[in-house]
Amino acid sequence: MKKLFKILLLALAPTLALGQNRFPKPDFESGYQYPDFNYSVPDERLWSIIDIVLLAVMMGIVAYAVLKQRKRIPVFVVSIISILYFGFFRNGCVCSIGSIQNVTFSFVDTSYVIPLTVFLMFILPIFFTFLFGRVFCAGVCPFGALQELVNVKNFRLSKAVSAVLSIIPWIYLVFAILYAVTRSQFIICRFDPFIGIFRLGGDFGMIAFGGLLLVASVFTGRPFCRFLCPYGALLSLFARFSIKQIVITPSCINCDLCLHACPVDAIRPPYENKVKENRTAGVKRLLAYLVLLPVATLTGALLLHSASDSLSSANKDVRLYEQVMQNEENPQNVQPVDVEVFFSQEGRIDELTSRVASIRGTFRTYSTIAGALIGLVIGFSLINLSLKRSRKTYEIDRTACVACGRCFSYCPQNQQTTDKK
């Protein structure tokens, strides 16, 4: 407990220091003299540098461990360090997942200068993914590391269920970008299920949701990473084109151990599609999905365009406008706080109306684009499911593999190979 208290004290020190600078001391007339206290507050810029250096070093260690040594132990050690440092010590913020919103916001608001630390948090994992696969997800990300360490069973979901759930991260990513580009909300940070756990406090609902995800992680591999994480979806796109990739042991004897060890179903077994299908039927099905692709795109665009006014309610000015209009139609003795503040500051309804009209126009444009992107994701997912390939050996799905190294420790052939080295 003493160690945990020290860690929390160090983590809160910058916040306490900022609090001292922001709020002046009250001016007592009683002649009270404040005692002098000397606080040793760490330089936040130094911690930012440590964050980036440690991030890069840890990803390098994971890359070397899984690609060169083919060992899991270094990944496990990195996971522990990530949870303790990036999780509990740094409170899980700023994280690479949430940095998506900062980068998006910087493109639409010229007055916002994205901090270099935040930009590097965003770009470095993408760069490493393009070079070595999803080594960031292996154990450098504290969210993935926390789920990985509690996982003891791997109850496999059906291929159809996994395919449907795997669309959710892309939808989440699209909405996160939509709300950032419209200057409305940073929904990734608002609905972060693990930040409350790392900070040992916060919104009860999100902490409970994070707890449920951890319980689910005991029985199935990384549910948040696979079925919710928007940054994971983005990294999977770059992993498809990674230069170096984790591969099955060349001397594979098809023993199935790696298949059952993989917590994220990233290993494709041989002869999965041994039932031969009429070639004409396969071509017709693929053509049908290709025809449906523009239909799905157009449908998604129309649906979100029609829902744009409802989606715009996430913007604080739109919410205020709706409250003001409701109050004008049905005056209440007790007004909402925002409405009371608006009128107390002599706010003008016509100016608010004009501002909201502009915001809703922006939402219509970007919601249409967001709907089209969601339609594309669904369409491509159907096309991907329709493709059937025959395999004679085990293969690793580079887009799904999180480089955790579990398959290495289970593979008897890999053990022999590493022992010889």
Q: What confidence tens digit (pLDDT) does each residue in 340-385 have?
A: 888 888 788 889 999 999 999 999 999 999 999 999 999 988 888 7
- 264 and 299 both lie in a single domain: no
- 240 and 300 both lie in a single domain: no
- 290 and 204 both lie in a single domain: no
| Least confident span in 37-41, 105-109, 276-280 | 37-41
Total count of domains within the chain: 2
Long-range pairs for 349-356 at CB < 8 Å and ≥24 separation?
Answer: 349/324, 352/317, 352/320, 352/321, 352/324, 353/321, 355/317, 355/321, 356/317, 356/318, 356/321
Q: How much is the average pLDDT of 275-280?
A: 65
- 81 and 219 both lie in a single domain: yes
User: Which pLDDT does position 276 carry in this prediction?
Assistant: 61
- Rounded to whole angstroms, the Cα distance separating 80 from 60 reads 16
CB-neighbour burial class of residue 291 (10 A; exposed 0-12, middle 13-18, buried 19+): exposed
- 141 and 50 both lie in a single domain: yes
Closest CA to 58 of 29, 27, 87: 87
* Cis amide linkage into residue 108, ω under 30° from 0: no
Whether 312 is covered by a domain: the verdict is yes
The parent domain of residue 168 ranges over: 45-276+391-420
- 226 and 366 both lie in a single domain: no
User: Which pLDDT does position 24 carry in this prediction?
Assistant: 46
Whether 4 is covered by a domain: the verdict is no
User: Which pLDDT does position 274 carry in this prediction?
Assistant: 52
Whether 37 is covered by a domain: the verdict is no
pLDDT of 173 > 50? The answer is yes
Q: Which 8-state DSSP code applies to residue 236? A: H
Whether 24 is covered by a domain: the verdict is no
Whether 402 is covered by a domain: the verdict is yes
Whether 39 is covered by a domain: the verdict is no
User: Which pLDDT does position 5 carry in this prediction?
Assistant: 40
Contact 383, 223 (CB under 8 A): no
pLDDT of 38 > 80? The answer is no
- 289 and 406 both lie in a single domain: no
CA 66 to chain centre: 23
CA 32 to chain centre: 50
- 192 and 307 both lie in a single domain: no
Angle at 363 between CA 361 and CA 367, to 5 degrees: 130
pLDDT of 22 > 80? The answer is no
User: Which pLDDT does position 272 carry in this prediction?
Assistant: 53
User: Which pLDDT does position 90 carry in this prediction?
Assistant: 92
Whether 377 is covered by a domain: the verdict is yes
- 409 and 346 both lie in a single domain: no
- Does 369 or 285 have the greater pLDDT score? 369
- 171 and 286 both lie in a single domain: no
| Position 239 confidence tier, pLDDT thresholds 50, 70, 90 | very high
